Structure 1
């Protein structure tokens, strides 16, 4: 338990500090209200989900700690994860430069509204964690794993990705940057590449997944795709 707590806390601190560096260093100022509000939103949302998992599903929390390109087993997934990490970082780097050089002009109330959608994205991810204890951070099938078709999974096949994309889509706006949306587009493309490979893997390794795909035809967006 102590090991899980230690890794969780250190991982969280490293993430928030890294995000702060990527934002404030290019901005070359700490006087960046949108950034502070966004980091607060991101941090509080992450803490609440983590506390829930610690109290209710430590096995899932442990699975989520095993993440990143080094944890992936397939070379293609390592490449996709590496690309996703780069595009994720560039969202914040571009937003920082945008603030510094005033490329965008987004009113503060629009940024505040965008933070609400960031929270909605986090909430969707939370609902996924609550419904599916097998949502590993890498592509794998665990022993005794079953297909989940309830909750958000009854709407789309990859609700965690839907929530993550929604969260990242509004992150640049929350930071006051239109230009950072370009990196979100690139990040979304890598997520789509990942989920298509994940579906192939699950089809081959998880009993009942093909039947589930027939029952739930939409991958990310209801009635669209």
Structure 2
């Protein structure tokens, strides 16, 4: 499974690299190299940790993004987010390097971006430790005895993984130095919020105890906000 993890991570990074450097028109983009290295190292780290502590969840995380048990709307969402993410990387390559539409970001913001990327993946470790059912697709994992998780970060917000993703959304354009990339973030946050609402409807209808969990834990992404 480790070999599969490494292969999929390398292919994923290579795909992002093609989009970023292809749009930039140059390989001389240190921020993009740092971004890919940071994401790659942290992804391998958390994958190796999962292989030791929860191989069943790692198998779910490595599964295809479109699955038979998955809701039709989530299949469309996964396709849409893949297209949006790809277009987003291209826009940032155009903006930060090829056409330089935006003024360079202050170094402090670039460092903040790198920190946000780190915190996103670091936070995911706590999510995975608490929730062995944290698959990347929306489905009820009946064969694995799917049940409501209300410990760890789930005791405070209903979607801690999405909360972590918000840091990735903000950190990526900051690290890459793209104001235009940052401008796209609200669209991505809206999409994630839409998915969270649809996901909760499915869980409330099909997973015992989820309605009661929603009543106990009021906030989806950020405590006291939403």
- Tell me the TM-score normalized by structure 2: 0.93
Paired with 2:3 and 2:69, the residues of 1 have a C-alpha distance of: 22
Shift of 1:70: 5.0
Aligned residue number for residue 131 of structure 1: 130
CA contact 1:87–1:184 (8 Å) conserved in 2: no
Aligned residue number for residue 83 of structure 1: 80
Shift of 1:72: 6.1
Shift of 1:5: 3.1
Deviations 1:127-158 (A, max 9, x none): 10111111112111223222111111011100
Matches within 5 A, 1:59-208: 59-69=56-66, 73-99=70-96, 100-104=98-102, 105-143=104-142, 144-208=145-209
| Structure 1 residues 23 and 71: CA distance shift in structure 2, 3 A | farther
Paired with 2:44 and 2:17, the residues of 1 have a C-alpha distance of: 17
Paired with 2:114 and 2:72, the residues of 1 have a C-alpha distance of: 35
Shift of 1:45: 1.2
CA contact 2:112–2:171 (8 Å) conserved in 1: no
CA contact 1:23–1:96 (8 Å) conserved in 2: yes
Shift of 1:108: 3.3
User: Aligned-pair RMSD on alpha carbons?
Assistant: 1.5
Paired with 1:86 and 1:127, the residues of 2 have a C-alpha distance of: 28
Paired with 1:131 and 1:58, the residues of 2 have a C-alpha distance of: 14
Structure 1, gaps ≥5 residues long: none
Q: Which stretch shows the higher mean deviation, 127-136 or 83-92?
A: 83-92
CA contact 2:6–2:44 (8 Å) conserved in 1: no
Q: Which stretch shows the higher mean deviation, 94-103 or 179-188?
A: 179-188
Deviations 1:186-218 (A, max 9, x none): 222221121111101100111111111111000
Shift of 1:92: 1.3
Aligned residue number for residue 52 of structure 1: 49
Aligned residue number for residue 217 of structure 1: 218
Paired with 1:72 and 1:27, the residues of 2 have a C-alpha distance of: 39
Shift of 1:219: 0.3
Paired with 2:64 and 2:169, the residues of 1 have a C-alpha distance of: 18
| Count of paired positions | 222
Structure 2, gaps ≥5 residues long: none
Shift of 1:28: 0.6
Deviations 1:159-212 (A, max 9, x none): 001101211221101100010123332222221121111101100111111111
